[in-house]
Amino acid sequence: MSNIKIRKPVTGDLPALRDIWRIIFGSLGEEAFFLHFFEPGLCVIVEADNKPAAAGYLVPFGDVVSFSDTIPCAMIYSIATLPEFRGLGFGRVVVSRLITLAYELGYPAVVLCPVEDGLFEYYSTRSNLIDRFYVREYIFKSGYENNTCIAPVCISIDEYITKREELLKDIVHIRHDFKTLEYQVMLCNESGGGLFRIGDFYAVVERQTDKQVWIKELLVPGLTAGDKMFDNIAAGAVASLSGMFPADEYTVRFPTKTGQGRRFGMIAFSDDKNDIIRSHDFSPWYGMAFD
């Protein structure tokens, strides 16, 4: 193999980038991303055999909020390598270049949500990305009944942002801006879902398939409740949403105490002094990953 280049997109690359997206991820999210978030200056390409072979993107993602401290962050998104070029380290190169690019653009922090558990070790040994974000996740099968369920109400992005910050004020978290939530709503609209209020709870709902629904973020008052309370909250949310989104399986995600749950996201800082994530009873909350 010859003529390997690492570069930003040029005129004429967009069709190839869309092809890579569809081959690796399918068509879901493609149109929304390239219309809403794609900027040539926020993309890194590995070219091999005179064509884009791998690509990845930076997405301005909001701010990391740690009580009185706030710093902007960018998200590494949609790292993809064509099947015939896998195993050559192209994905690692793209991630490394995107981290450097984020720092150059003035983002003190950059985050990544690995798509597989094994990638946490892969990236931690090949970059300065470290595990920091965990999530509590429940999976419910259909048929769950709860006679006290409350009808969900679809709400605006502005209302969701306001209530989200209120409910997360005591937890280190990523504060998503309007554009980030707007993209998430676009993804929800493609397959079914949206932003909902369920009594005092707030949820981001996205249908993955006809048989599977993800409640990608479930936020409730009193996040320090015990595990049994979380069981009941998650089950109640599923019961409330099941009429609007019938499915065979529901996955529910919400914040978890430090040291519990499963690994969800990684973060890197441009300088140690920017590391504002401090020890706390609850793990820092990543929020939506657009996964």
d(C-alpha 202, C-alpha 160), whole Å? 7
pLDDT digits (tens, 9 = 90+) for 68-105: 899 999 999 999 999 999 999 999 999 999 999 999 99
Q: How confident is the model at residue 282 (pLDDT cuts 50, 70, 90)?
A: confident
Does residue 38 carry a pLDDT above 90? yes
Mean pLDDT of 187-214: 93
Radius of gyration of the chain (CA): 19
Residue percentage of the chain with pLDDT more than 90: 69
> What's 135-254's CATH class?
alpha beta
> Taking a C-beta distance cutoff of 8 angstroms, is the pair 278, 163 a contact?
no
Domain with CATH 3.40.630.30 in the chain: 5-132+258-274
d(C-alpha 74, C-alpha 111), whole Å? 6
> Taking a C-beta distance cutoff of 8 angstroms, is the pair 21, 28 a contact?
no
User: What CATH number matches the domain at 5-132+258-274, 3.40.30.10, 1.10.3720.10, 3.40.710.10, 3.40.630.30?
Assistant: 3.40.630.30
d(C-alpha 283, C-alpha 226), whole Å? 15
pLDDT digits (tens, 9 = 90+) for 235-253: 888 889 988 999 999 999 9
Q: Kindly tell me the number of DSSP H helices and DSSP E strands found in the chain.
A: 7, 13
